[in-house]
Amino acid sequence: MAAISRDEVANLARLARITMSDAELDHLAGEMDVILGAVARVQEVAGADVPATSHPLAVNNVSREDVVTPSLTPAETLSGAPASEDQRFKVPQILGEE
């Protein structure tokens, strides 16, 4: 049995906000099945007593004095925006009509 179905891949693509064609989904479902088959072996080795490592070297909380430091100007911040207006990012509508 496949580790992952085409429908599951389609759902993941929806969650990841990537439109995919039927051909892309077919292809990716096959590849994902092979890759998951290969990486599933991580489950074989570590028991419940082994702690997880999220970061390679221990870092403590890093904080600094709350002082104003130079930062980008609004014009610089908006310089790469696909669209902007009145010193703001201009985006497509985020709510439906009604």
Least distance in angstroms from the C-beta of 97 to other proteins: 9
Of 75, 1, 71, give the one whose Cα is nearest residue 33: 1
Distance (Å, whole) CA 17 – CA 21: 13
φ and ψ at residue 50, rounded to 5 degrees: -85, 120
Backbone angles phi, psi at 7, to 5 degrees: -65, -40
* Residues binding other proteins (CB under 8 A): 4, 8-9, 12-13, 15-20, 24, 28, 31-32, 34-36, 38-46, 50-57, 59, 62, 64, 72, 76-77, 79-83, 89, 91-96
Which run of H or of E encompasses 56?
none
